[in-house]
């Protein structure tokens, strides 16, 4: 479902693309085949600054297609929820996304990457984001291929960030000291 919700006092625009027949990377661009296409979709939503929530979870869009969507995050600095779980994005995508969110977004509350191939590259980017972010309260990086180096970076970032209330980091290869 892709849609919008109009609330008069906030004028909130919401994108939801969840469970769209478990899209595959090579077919994701066909989602908008009869209308504007994925690139035009990204252009259209990067022209607004009212998006509060982006949920593209459970769509196997892959890293190439995800990069097309990055302009949406650049122009919308009031996004509170970003759910990119189960999208098969990689650490480079996480690095790009976290860089944008760190620099431009001061409203982010929930960030979900579950079941992605972030590796230590993505974990380092996430650690840079959370080190100084004061609004992020929930982080989900369950089963993201994070190793000891990435786990250490996130562990160190959490030592200076006391805002995160919910952390889901299981099914990664972490050192015991970082888990504690």
Give domain status of residue 102, yes or no: yes
d(CA 57, CA 34): 22
Give domain status of residue 163, yes or no: yes
Total structural domains in the chain? 1
Give domain status of residue 7, yes or no: no
Give domain status of residue 65, yes or no: yes
Host domain of residue 112: 13-179
Q: Span 123-152, mean pLDDT? A: 96
Burial zone of 47 (CB within 10 Å; 0-12 exposed, 13-18 middle, 19+ buried): exposed
CATH of the domain at 152: 3.80.10.10
Give domain status of residue 6, yes or no: no
Give domain status of residue 100, yes or no: yes
Stated pTM of the model: 0.80
At 38-63, the pLDDT tens digits run 677 788 788 888 889 998 888 878 89
Burial zone of 100 (CB within 10 Å; 0-12 exposed, 13-18 middle, 19+ buried): buried
Q: Span 76-97, mean pLDDT? A: 95
Output b/e per residue, 120-129; b: 16+ Cβ within 10 A: bbbbbbbbbb
Residue 9 has pLDDT above 90, yes or no: no
């Amino acid at each position: 479902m892709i849609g919008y919700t109009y609330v008069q006092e906030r004028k909130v625009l919401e994108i939801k693309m969840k469970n769209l027949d478990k899209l595959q990377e090579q077919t994701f661009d066909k989602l908008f085949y009869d209308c504007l296409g994925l690139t035009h979709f990204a252009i259209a939503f990067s022209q607004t600054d009212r998006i509060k929530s982006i949920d593209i979870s459970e769509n196997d869009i892959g890293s190439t297609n995800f990069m097309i969507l990055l302009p949406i995050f650049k122009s919308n600095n009031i996004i509170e929820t970003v759910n990119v779980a189960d999208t098969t994005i990689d650490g480079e995508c996480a690095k790009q996304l976290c860089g944008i969110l760190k620099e431009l977004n001061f409203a982010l509350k929930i960030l979900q990457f579950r079941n992605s191939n972030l590796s230590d590259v993505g974990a380092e980017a996430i650690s840079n984001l959370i080190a100084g972010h004061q609004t992020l309260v929930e982080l989900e990086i369950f089963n993201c291929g994070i190793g000891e180096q990435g786990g250490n970076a996130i562990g160190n970032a959490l030592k200076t960030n006391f805002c995160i209330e919910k952390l889901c980091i299981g099914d990664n290869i972490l050192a015991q000291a970082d888990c504690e």
